[in-house]
Structure 1
Amino acid sequence: MSSSSLCVGVVAPLTGRLAPLGSPLSYVLRRLAPRLARLRGGARRRDVNVVVRDSRSDPDAARQAVRELAGPDGAHIVITMAGTRVLPAVTAACEELRVPCVSTTFPWQAYLHTRGAVPGHRFRWTYDFAWGLDDIAAVFADLWELAGGRGAVGCLWNDDLQGSLLRHDHHGFTPVTSPRGHTLVDLGAYGEPADGFRAQVGRMREHGVDLVTSAATATDLALFHRQAREAGVRPRLITCSRWLTYPHTHTTPAPAVHVELADARVATLVYWSPGHPYRSGLDGTSCAELARSYRQDTGAAWLQPLGLAHALVETAHHALSVADDPTDRTSVARALAGTRLDTIAGHLDWTRGPTPGIALLPLVGGQWHPGPQGPRLAVVSNSAHPDVPLTGELTPVR
């Protein structure tokens, strides 16, 4: 690589359990390759190389990928997304090796917690755009209220990172949902993968709970739903973040899981959709156009990470373009810290986040509706972001 050329490093889950979620990023990189080949940075035109390293859906492999990008590959900026253990491994390695990094799809409280930091801490090299656990709680409370008012909500949370953060006295769900009249009933922690939910179903019956919230995998949530249904305590509504923001048909091949979750009509958070009213500042593509092109080019339905993957590339391109010296990593990190950018995922502003290094994205509420081509994610609640059009009505299970 010449001293005047630039390198964008990418850590993506090309293989392993997260591979289905890496597909949108791979697609965006192919789509935007002509736009990335050359850019004007530091008052001159520069060639740009994009180097993709496979995280293999594993934290250790992800750290090794960063070492290769920071060393032999000479990356001036790294982008990454996906994985509650993989993403923190990438960002921590970038911070240690002093490489600017932009990441997404990770709530900012979890982003800090997994790196041993507290709100107010300023990382020098790493930047994230996403939403907060409080934002998820507010959207879910909207959905519970659409399903029939305020009351007890059963919490099906694991015994790992997600569960501990969602239970947190300050960062979790209670500070948001309690003032709105919701009582959270912890149904009991479980390990992943779960071998059964008889105890949790029993607590659900004991407390008269018919609304449930979770952050379970598709497989575990399907098992819970089946055992609750068999026990005669079927939830009227399940809200689920994490894996269920993606179609369950993408995250597991098991037909029985698909049938069970289609019957459950799971509701979830929506951070990007074809109906979002944004255009890319890099190539002018609208959300609807990107989703349509993805379907035409891959034969697969759009996924929420598609828009965020596009915004990742837009952000990297912007930082290299506006940095005083894009060949100097310190200059690129400084450019990221001051970035305010309109993207296909919305307006990103790293100067006004809830804590340094974070740009917030708003959330709306969605529900998976069965359709002839598989699950369809309908936007059913938009109180926090009314510019996003509703595309369906919340349908509790009767």
Structure 2
Amino acid sequence: MRRRTLLKGLGLSALAATGCGTSIRGSGPTGEDRIVIGFVSPRTGPLAGFASGDSFIVDTVRRTQAFAGGITSGGRKYPVEIVVKDTQSDPNRASQVARELILQDRADLIVTSSTPETTNPVATVCETQGVPCVSAVVPWQAWYFARQADPAKPQPFTYTTMFFFGVEQFGGCFVPMWERVPSSKAVAGMFPNDADGNAFRSAWPDIIEDAGYRWVDGGSYTNGTTDYSSMISAFREADCEIFINAPIPPDFNTMWKQAAQQGFRPKLATVAKVLLFPADTEALGDLVNNIATDSWWGPYMPYTSSLDGSTAKALAEAYQAASGKQWLQTLGSTYSLFEVAHQAFTAVDAPHDRKAVAAQLRRLSYTGISGPLDWTKGPVPGVAIQQPVGVQWKKGKDFPYEMVVVDNTLNPAVPVGADLTPTNP
């Protein structure tokens, strides 16, 4: 991966459908020496789709014997309290609730998830206050470089760590799918004039060029644009048969419907930032069929919980039974945050020794519900990488559309569920 590409990937994130949630407080008795874990996520606001399974996961984790029976650290068993905070999808509030967890709840560790707007302010507060923190569902470049005083000369963090993937994994996930569809090798890019769009616009040309494809930028546009005719015309004139993007979901929905009306039907659409969750498919209906995206967790993952041995499939099915809704990728990520917390606390002599817990996080290596996570391998200190698979939305049996694995180039342990099918034959 080129150095300049890494630095260009600072703004990668994703938006999702809205949802709702309420704060949950752990059951540890007040005044008793206990382990306090703070959990920060966007339970309400425009990013709430990411957190729509959080209540279920927190309840599930708290019922496991690993947590309900207390965590043994340094030969002593401690009751555990989980304190949940909602950022309301606001970075400023994310900072505020992180401070509350540290100063009022006396958190021993804070875990946080879902986009840089959530994880970065929380991690920054934790690093400043000397409190261990684990982040997830944030591209690592966006988490690591964007928090540096000088991104060109990055310095390792002491208290903050994370797991997910980054620009190179997007390329490693999408390009193999392109290779399986004969095309003109012209790639259309739909990237808005915002932090995420500009980061993708900067990072993708290197990946595309190295893979032997030709880049066609649809042009920088303002979020909320309603007419994409000029972009669609440019893609058609350039004979683009591969499509990538990083827009907010409503804009993609508008553009994709106009593309169908105006005859732009790329052979394969590989999308980022949109269509991550089942709710995202509703607005498109049949137009979502065979659109491809990345998947970092799902019931098809051959992984089991390090807390109670349950499988990824069992976790997804339990969520569906409890909620009546389709599983979503962030279930695994949120669950893994608490696995990581458990791993760290059980490996130290004193759970309230923040330096010791933070040091353990930086050298942690284990396998759990999200598969193998190894902080000793990098790519930079404090970061563990997941390997996503390529999936397509296809008509399902239990739900209108379901994610099906069609490419496992980056993660051969995940079985392929179907052949990759052109989005538009």
Q: Which one of the candidate residues 53, 78, 81 is aligned to 1:24?
A: 53
**What is the TM-score normalised by the length of structure 1?**
0.93
**27-36 or 353-362, larger mean C-alpha shift:** 27-36
* Letter matched to residue 384 of structure 1: L
Give 2:121's aligned residue.
89
- In structure 2, what is the equivalent of residue 107 of structure 1? 139
CA contact (8 A) 1:4 1:327 kept: no
Runs of 4+ in 1 over 6 A off after TM superposition: none
The answer to whether the aligner puts 1:233 opposite 2:264 as a matched pair is yes
**CA displacement at 1:242 relative to structure 2:** 1.8
> In the alignment, which residue of structure 2 is the partner of 1:11?
40
How far does residue 86 in structure 1 lie from its aligned partner after superposition? 2.1
Equivalent residue number for residue 211 of structure 1: 242
Displacement of 1:118: 4.9
AA matched with 1:336 = L
Q: Could you tell me how far apart the structure 1 residues matched to 2:287 and 2:225 are?
A: 16
> Which residue is 1:143 aligned to?
177
Structure 1 position 175, deviation (Å): 3.0
Per-residue CA deviations over 1:137-187 (Å, capped at 9, x if unaligned) read 12111111222256110111121222222233xxx2233332221112111
Question: What is the match of residue 98 of structure 1?
Answer: 130
Residue type at the aligned position of 1:9 = G
Deviations 1:243-279 (A, max 9, x none): 32222xx248xx5x2326425x321011111111111
- Report if aligned partners of 2:126, 2:133 keep a CA contact under 8 Å in 1: yes
After TM superposition, list the pairs within 5 Å mapping 1:1-398 onto structure 2: 1-2=30-31, 4-34=33-63, 35-37=66-68, 38-116=70-148, 117-118=151-152, 121-149=155-183, 151-168=185-202, 172-247=203-278, 250-251=279-280, 257-259=283-285, 261-263=287-289, 265-371=290-396, 373-396=399-422, 397-398=424-425
SS of the residue corresponding to residue 239 of structure 2 reads coil
**Amino acid of the structure 2 residue aligned with 1:310:** Y
Decide whether aligned partners of structure 1 residues 98 and 251 sit closer, same or farther in structure 2, where only a CA change above 3 A counts: farther
> Are residues 349 and 119 of structure 1, via their aligned partners in 2, closer, same or farther at CA, if it must alter by over 3 Å?
farther
CA offset digits 1:46-73 (Å, max 9, x no partner): 1111111111111111111101001010
Matched length: 389
Q: State the 1:199 CA deviation.
A: 2.2
CA positional deviation for 1:3 = 6.5
Check conservation: 1:138, 1:177, Cα contact below 8 A: no
Q: Is the 8 A contact 2:184 2:239 kept in 1?
A: no
Over the residues paired in the alignment, what is the CA RMSD in angstroms?
1.8
Question: Percent identity at matched positions?
Answer: 33
Which deviations, in whole Å up to 9, do the C-alpha atoms of 1:98-138 show, x marking residues without a partner? 21111111111111233234575301111110111111012
Where structure 1 has 5 or more consecutive residues not aligned to the other structure, the ranges are none
Distance in 1 (CA, whole Å) between partners of 2:185 and 2:321 is 44
SS in structure 2 of the partner of residue 51 of structure 1: strand
Aligned partners of 2:56 and 2:97: how far apart in 1? 20
3-state SS of 1:220 partner: helix
Structure 2 residue matching 1:173: 3-state secondary structure: helix
CA distance in 2, matches of 1:211, 1:355: 32
| TM-score, reference length from structure 2 | 0.87
Tell me: CA distance 1:178–1:314, structure 2 relative to 1, closer, same or farther (3 Å). Answer: same
Supply the distance in 1 between the matched residues of 2:111 and 2:339 (Cα, whole angstroms): 11
Q: Which amino acid aligns with 1:166?
A: F
The alpha-carbon deviation at position 234 of structure 1 amounts to: 2.1
Letter in 1 for 2:191: W
Alignment partner of 1:243: what SS?
coil
Distance 1:273 1:395 in 2: 20
CA contact (8 A) 2:137 2:164 kept: yes
- 8 Å Cα contact 2:185-2:241 kept in structure 1: no
